[in-house]
Structure 1
């Protein structure tokens, strides 16, 4: 696979190969996380769209029209505005049927544009106007290719959740992301204008069925809380129907991970995969759900007791997340694992051990993408890729910010890893000479 990025959030440009284990190194705020979140959003959008695509085109258009009508009826009164009544006739079929049956694209575009112009002329908040334009865009997309419309609809949801609707790089109006699959013409292409999805193109039916984005292993000890949390879209949906107590809102990737970890309780012991990665030995036990309380626990082989995750070292939780995802079969050769800064909470020695674990996952055919700013971790990946004969399928990239644009360019440094080590080690080198610091102090 290859991921091409142009002017997406912090990233000015990137061409990244994803055919085994991909390492994206760089300083904080260099855009490493942008790559992971974009990849997660694209794969999940395409996968989710497969489930939506069975609906008829007409049903999707009617659904989008209903959403527009509901918003319009909440904001305006058809009894006091003649033009409103003309633009939004009743019953809604008078609005929908001509769209479904239309053969002239210009006529449809003109009709939708007239609504946008009318909305813009009204004295309502910029946010409400933006929501109306989004409703119109949704109708326009639904009128096009059915699968493309579904993908676009899903992309909107993920961009709202993962990027807070700020997808285009600062100072740019147009952005592009293309995910291509190896040895085929299959690809997914997205184009954005002013932070809105404007074009979706896809070829072929080959795609990854799922993506898991891990931001922190500490989610294990607040799993119950995360399971009760809602995404922004869920909150908006349920708020319209009934009063809902505040349950906390989280990005989709966090709720997605929580739901996946929770599925371990439904995996019967005899169906659990064999421990080919030595995770039980590394952790000194394993994570499981209590049969009675349904709470997550750590079964300690060393101590012979069960412990709450909150009483387990943060480093062990990292290995625990891998264990749970493996046993639930939620990562595999068609399910990519994206891990943001896996070195967090790990002692340098355990960084090296965890690096080998990720190399082993990739060796077993699981696509893995990581972002890191740890030289220990990069060297661990480098070493164990050699040990496990994965060097040809391990690619390294460095994200660096341009002084002029303040945007980052992600470049391939697979054949020159000294660029990575030099970049990541510079802060330490700057403070190594303590004697010089003392002399400088005395001179002052």
Structure 2
């Protein structure tokens, strides 16, 4: 939808009368959470994400058929029934075969194995991937496992159904996600061990940063990472730590109240092209394209829509009179938020924030008595994040590590920085050349 990629400037269909304005707010892009029905199976989500990454699927081929085909393959090569019974117990009876290669997890992305909720959550990650592809996983397998994987690959089919439907709202986070997943893909066993935690972290980081970025659209500039402060899960959270108190959980909770109001309005602003290949666009990109457009009627369309929406929702919000289309878009977004400030819609939005926290944020929130709730990272998440950031390098400087954390939506204060160094020293992946952060190097743990 950008001016660079499409021949048509921003020119959406917008309701122009009270009768055309929909009574209900609907959300189908940029966040998978709905006001209810947000239970999802993490194994199905993982299978769907890998299906989108590989562009392959296993369809019309049951797990039982796969086991039978493996038995037949080994009968031809080994010819010993007793040996097959050993393999069956080792790999198949309890589905331990799923730990051999990520490609085996495609069984969990078959029709009938996942729900609409699973599909929605997986689409969040598919959109972060922006059609990044991995041909296959080069796992270091023994002869037996290679034979099993070869049997599966013979049944795989090409699949392009799970692809991006949105331009990334947070390009910087999408880039980090793609880089980190490619790092994991080069280490299939590590990916299998960490994929659940990896998706859990990015699901929350994306949601939190999206909530912070939503109001910063007027300039039409791409968002940058906004400060959101975490502590290690064993740290104390005193009220004197102002960043932790004011720019941690409290900030996330407050900014989350914008998600449903602004994203449902963004849904109405999307162009109605009828072309499935046209991606949905972020609010900041719409702002940029409006400012780039020479179509004078955009101002009238946005003004008519704003007045119709205000009347249909019976709002008393004061509209700023202007000859600028971008100012009328500002009026539209103010109305989007205002409709949720009273009545039943206020309660609906409160429930939505609860659903967001429950579905995507709960591993990162702790209650600390009088200090209230705080955002935390436990040691497992920290080690994973550290390994992803160090990446293919042998080691990086500590301050570079902190900067890369911030690019992934994790900010820490000076006290937590010192706790991190102590933690790295305990697990033995730090080199301290001096007491300053400039001379502290951090290594991977893998």
Interval containing the TM-score (normalised by the shorter chain):
under 0.3
Question: Greater helix percent: which structure?
Answer: 2
Question: Greater strand percent: which structure?
Answer: 1
User: TM-score if structure 2 supplies the norm length?
Assistant: 0.28
